Chains A and B, each alone.
Chain A
Amino acid sequence: MMTLTVLLALTGVLLLGSSRLSISIRLVAIQGFLLGMTALWGESGFHAAGLSSGVSGMLVKGIVLPWLLLFVLKKSGARREIEPFIGFGASMLIGLLLMGLSAWIAWRMHLVEQGLSPALFTVALDLMLVGLFLIITRRKAITQTLGYLVMENGVYALGVGAGTEFSFLLEIGVLLDVFVGVFLMGIMIFRIDREFEHIDTDRFIELRDTASGKLPVEAGEGGR
Chain B
Amino acid sequence: MNPWLFVWIPGIAGFLAYFISNDALRRTLWLSVAFLHLIGSLFAASPPLTLFSGAWLGFDSLTALFLPITSILFLTASVYGVGALRRDARMPHPDRLPRRSFRFSPEAIFSGCMLLFLASMSGVILSRHFGLQWVVIEATTLASAPLIYYHRSRHSLEAAWKYLMICSVGIALALLGVFCLALAGSGAIETLTIDGMLARAGVLKTAWLKLAFIFILIGYGTKMGLAPLHTWLPDAHSEAPSPVSALLSGALLNCAFLSILRVHQVCLPCGIGDFSRDLLTLFGLVSMGLAGIFILHQPEYKRMLAYSSVEHMGILSLGVGLGAAGAYGSMLHALNHSLVKAMLFMAAGNILWMYRTKTASAILGILRRNPTAGVLWLGGFIAIAGSPPFGTFLSEFIVLRTLLDQSRWLAAAIYTLSLLTAFVGMASIMLRMALGDPNPTETREKLDPLCIAPPLILGFLALGLGVFIPRDLHLTLIQAAQAIGGFMP
Q: Do A and B bind each other?
A: yes
Q: Which residues of A contact B (CB under 8 A)?
A: 114, 116, 128, 132, 135, 141, 144, 148, 151-152, 155, 158-159, 162-167, 170, 173-174, 176-177, 180-181, 184-185, 188, 191-192, 195-196, 201, 204, 206-207, 209-213, 215-217, 219-220, 222-223
- Which among B142, B153, B179 is the interface contact of A164 at CB below 8 angstroms? B179
Are B155's CB and A184's CB within 8 A?
no
Q: Please judge, given known A-B contacts A155-B175, A177-B135, A204-B162, whether A215 and B168 are in contact too, CB under 8 Å.
A: no
Alpha-carbon distance A84/B202, docked complex (angstroms): 49
Alpha-carbon distance A155/B158, docked complex (angstroms): 27
**Is residue B217 contacting chain A, with contact meaning CB distance below 8 A?**
no
**In this complex, which of A135, A162, A167, A174 has the most chain B Cβ atoms within 10 angstroms of its Cβ?**
A162
Of all chain B residues, the one with the shortest Cβ separation from A183 is: B142
Within 8 A of A (CB), among B220-275: 234-235, 238-239
Alpha-carbon distance A144/B142, docked complex (angstroms): 17
Q: Please judge, given known A-B contacts A174-B134, A192-B161, A196-B154, whether A162 and B299 are in contact too, CB under 8 Å.
A: no
Of all chain A residues, the one with the shortest Cβ separation from B132 is: A170
**Is residue B473 contacting chain A, with contact meaning CB distance below 8 A?**
no
Known contacts A173-B131, A207-B158, then 19 further A-B pairs from the complex at CB < 8 Å, ordered by chain A residue: A148-B165, A155-B176, A173-B135, A174-B131, A174-B134, A174-B135, A176-B135, A184-B142, A201-B161, A211-B299, A211-B359, A213-B359, A215-B94, A215-B358, A215-B359, A215-B362, A216-B358, A219-B153, A219-B154
Q: Which residues of B contact A (CB under 8 A)?
A: 94-95, 97, 129, 131-132, 134-135, 138-139, 141-142, 145-146, 149, 152-155, 157-162, 164-165, 168-169, 172-173, 175-176, 179-180, 182-183, 187-189, 192, 234-235, 238-239, 294, 298-299, 303, 356-359, 361-362
Of all chain B residues, the one with the shortest Cβ separation from A205 is: B158
Alpha-carbon distance A155/B235, docked complex (angstroms): 28
Are A162's CB and B182's CB within 8 A?
yes
Alpha-carbon distance A192/B180, docked complex (angstroms): 37
* Shortest distance from the beta carbon of B240 to any chain A beta carbon, whole Å: 12
Of all chain B residues, the one with the shortest Cβ separation from A166 is: B131
**What are the residues of chain B within 8 A of A174 when measuring CB–CB?**
131, 134-135, 175
Are A165's CB and B358's CB within 8 A?
no
- Which among B97, B169, B180, B234 is the interface contact of A151 at CB below 8 angstroms? B169
Are A155's CB and B131's CB within 8 A?
no
* Shortest distance from the beta carbon of B48 to any chain A beta carbon, whole Å: 31
Q: How many A-B residue pairs have CB under 8 A?
A: 136
Q: Can you offer 6 A-B residue contacts whose CB atoms are under 8 A? A: A148-B168, A188-B157, A204-B161, A207-B239, A215-B358, A216-B356
Are B161's CB and A217's CB within 8 A?
no
Alpha-carbon distance A220/B183, docked complex (angstroms): 49
Q: Please judge, given known A-B contacts A155-B179, A167-B189, A188-B161, whether A132 and B142 are in contact too, CB under 8 Å.
A: no
Are B94's CB and A216's CB within 8 A?
yes
Q: Please judge, given known A-B contacts A174-B135, A188-B149, whether A132 and B94 are in contact too, CB under 8 Å.
A: no
Alpha-carbon distance A212/B162, docked complex (angstroms): 20
Of all chain A residues, the one with the shortest Cβ separation from B176 is: A155
- Which among A158, A159, A170, A206 is the interface contact of B135 at CB below 8 angstroms? A170
Q: Please judge, given known A-B contacts A155-B175, A162-B187, A217-B94, whether A181 and B153 are in contact too, CB under 8 Å.
A: no
Alpha-carbon distance A162/B176, docked complex (angstroms): 10
Are A220's CB and B138's CB within 8 A?
no
**What are the residues of chain A within 8 A of B157 when measuring CB–CB?**
188, 191-192, 195
Of all chain B residues, the one with the shortest Cβ separation from A189 is: B161
Closest 4 CB pairs of A and B: A173-B135, A211-B299, A177-B138, A219-B153
Are A217's CB and B357's CB within 8 A?
yes
Alpha-carbon distance A188/B145, docked complex (angstroms): 10
Alpha-carbon distance A185/B161, docked complex (angstroms): 7
Are A151's CB and B172's CB within 8 A?
yes
Alpha-carbon distance A58/B470, docked complex (angstroms): 54
Interface of B, secondary structure class, is helix
**What are the residues of chain B within 8 A of A219 when measuring CB–CB?**
95, 153-155
Alpha-carbon distance A220/B176, docked complex (angstroms): 39
Are A148's CB and B169's CB within 8 A?
yes
* Shortest distance from the beta carbon of B178 to any chain A beta carbon, whole Å: 8
Of all chain A residues, the one with the shortest Cβ separation from B167 is: A181
**What are the residues of chain A within 8 A of B134 when measuring CB–CB?**
174
Are A165's CB and B187's CB within 8 A?
yes
**What are the residues of chain A within 8 A of B238 when measuring CB–CB?**
207
Alpha-carbon distance A164/B168, docked complex (angstroms): 21
**What are the residues of chain A within 8 A of B187 when measuring CB–CB?**
162-165
* Shortest distance from the beta carbon of A222 to any chain B beta carbon, whole Å: 8
**What are the residues of chain B within 8 A of A165 when measuring CB–CB?**
187-189
* Shortest distance from the beta carbon of A130 to any chain B beta carbon, whole Å: 13
* Shortest distance from the beta carbon of B358 to any chain A beta carbon, whole Å: 5
Are B142's CB and A180's CB within 8 A?
yes
Are B165's CB and A144's CB within 8 A?
yes
* Shortest distance from the beta carbon of A159 to any chain B beta carbon, whole Å: 5
**What are the residues of chain A within 8 A of B135 when measuring CB–CB?**
170, 173-174, 176-177
Are B153's CB and A185's CB within 8 A?
no
Of all chain B residues, the one with the shortest Cβ separation from A116 is: B183
Q: Please judge, given known A-B contacts A177-B138, A209-B234, A217-B94, whether A135 and B165 are in contact too, CB under 8 Å.
A: yes
- Which among A158, A176, A191, A206 is the interface contact of B155 at CB below 8 angstroms? A206
* Shortest distance from the beta carbon of A198 to any chain B beta carbon, whole Å: 12
Alpha-carbon distance A173/B132, docked complex (angstroms): 8
Alpha-carbon distance A211/B146, docked complex (angstroms): 27
Are A158's CB and B176's CB within 8 A?
yes
* Shortest distance from the beta carbon of B350 to any chain A beta carbon, whole Å: 16
Alpha-carbon distance A111/B384, docked complex (angstroms): 49
**In this complex, which of B129, B159, B183 has the most chain A Cβ atoms within 10 angstroms of its Cβ?**
B183
Of all chain A residues, the one with the shortest Cβ separation from B211 is: A109
- Which among B161, B169, B189 is the interface contact of A141 at CB below 8 angstroms? B161
**What are the residues of chain A within 8 A of B172 when measuring CB–CB?**
148, 151-152, 155
Q: Please judge, given known A-B contacts A148-B172, A207-B159, whether A217 and B165 are in contact too, CB under 8 Å.
A: no
Are B169's CB and A170's CB within 8 A?
no
* Shortest distance from the beta carbon of B177 to any chain A beta carbon, whole Å: 10
- Which among B168, B183, B357, B362 is the interface contact of A162 at CB below 8 angstroms? B183
Alpha-carbon distance A207/B298, docked complex (angstroms): 13
**What are the residues of chain A within 8 A of B357 when measuring CB–CB?**
215-217
Alpha-carbon distance A171/B468, docked complex (angstroms): 46
**What are the residues of chain B within 8 A of A128 when measuring CB–CB?**
176
* Shortest distance from the beta carbon of A178 to any chain B beta carbon, whole Å: 8
**What are the residues of chain A within 8 A of B189 when measuring CB–CB?**
165-167
